[in-house]
Amino acid sequence: MTPMIIKILSEVEDIRLDRKKKYPLNEIMLVAIGSMLCGGRTYHDMEVCGKEKLSFFKGLLPFKNGIPSEDTFARVMSTMSPKIFGECLLIWMQHIKETINKIEGLEGIREVIGLDGKMMRGSKTKKESALGILNAFATQSGLTIASVAIEKKTNEITALPNLLSLLELQGTVVTIDAAGCQKKIINQITEQKGKFVIALKNNQKTLADDVRTFFDLEGKELSTTENSFHETLEKGHGRIEKRSYFFIKDVNWLIKLHPDWYNIKSIGCVTSTRTIDGKKTTETRRFISNLTGNVETFAVVVRSHWFIENKLHHVLDVALMEDACQVRNRIAAENLAILRRFVLNILSRVPHIPSGTVNLKKKLSKRTMMLKAAWNTSFLETLFFSII
């Protein structure tokens, strides 16, 4: 049986001259991913990992000419099209979309997709700013669905339409911070049959002022209204946090004031009160949405957005050391970023491995799984075959 990843990597267009193709592209990429799964970070790590585990890799592909040098890995990463490689991530997600299940209690919503950008700080040079990657993260499944680079001298706003166009949004809710609070963005999400919950700040000042005034005047009344108010309380690590959620679907008055925002069907407000060591702080955030359900659904969606920071960006830096990567070539940096998201998706699939496939007495951290893959070739094989 062939791992799905090999079939997917075979879809990547190889632009090298035929007479110079000593090492097939899918072999190079397989070793690169295998090296990262074992904790490798550099091109040299890829060469060493390939040579140390050559017998394992030969069980997956021929490797007639052995393992390429680190220079070959560097050259391929610097010339391969990130766009085409990124499409492989989408192809893979189509193959494993059965793991993205309907979320219980969210009124038929299949998934919450968080969109947010991350800077690769190690790619910064004296002449160029750090490369930014805009990610689409399936927050309930813990998988990166797609990512695009933020072009030079632009920002997330210009990259968002490109990323959205790659996604199948029907049955999902898209969450974005205030950078995505643009008429063009919410219209595109609606046209693609998706739902949205987007943070509202002063980049849309008059809209934000009207929503703020409404909740300031009506908040107390909403707190006693069924399906419009929800409250949660969390305690732990010396912290107490109370979150009050307000949600209203009658927004005709708002559309009359702002007719260009006709796709807004509801608005929400979250007030978070934190008490740490006796010191209390309060933060209030407001949102526009086209959800038509209840306040509990709104609460779950808002909380889900932060998973992209905790489960993706944080893990990329802690387990895969993305910020520490000193690759300056922007094409190579983008390709390596896509590779890391492949690897993180593979590691996130471990809970879906059938019982008995691998003996895990307790859930392992991503970093520990990478060490285990380096130590135990059978576990590395399990990871590759977990994405069938």
The pLDDT tens digits of the residues spanning 338-378 come to 999 989 988 987 755 544 445 555 678 899 999 999 999 99
- Which residues does the chain have with pLDDT short of 70? 1-2, 17, 19-20, 96-107, 351-362, 387-388
Domain contains 74? no
Nearest to residue 100, comparing CAs of 111, 86, 85? 111
- Return the pLDDT at 8: 78
Domain contains 254? yes
Residues 224-265 have pLDDT tens digits of 777 789 999 988 777 889 999 999 999 999 999 999 999 999
Range of the domain at 212: 194-294
Is-contact 46 339, C-beta < 8 A? no
Domain contains 205? yes
Helices (DSSP H) in 124-279: which residue ranges?
156-165, 183-191, 205-222, 252-257
How many angstroms separate the Cα of 193 from the Cα of each of 172, 189, 227, 295, 313?
9, 6, 24, 21, 27
Provide the token pair at 278: 């006796």
Domain contains 215? yes
Answer yes or no: pTM beyond 0.85: yes
Domain contains 259? yes
- Return the pLDDT at 105: 46
The HSE-up count of residue 201 (CA atoms within 13 Å, CB side) is 9
Domain contains 228? yes
- Please state the domain count of the chain: 1
Domain contains 350? no
Instruction: Reduce the DSSP state of residue 248 to 3 states and report it.
Output: strand
Domain contains 249? yes
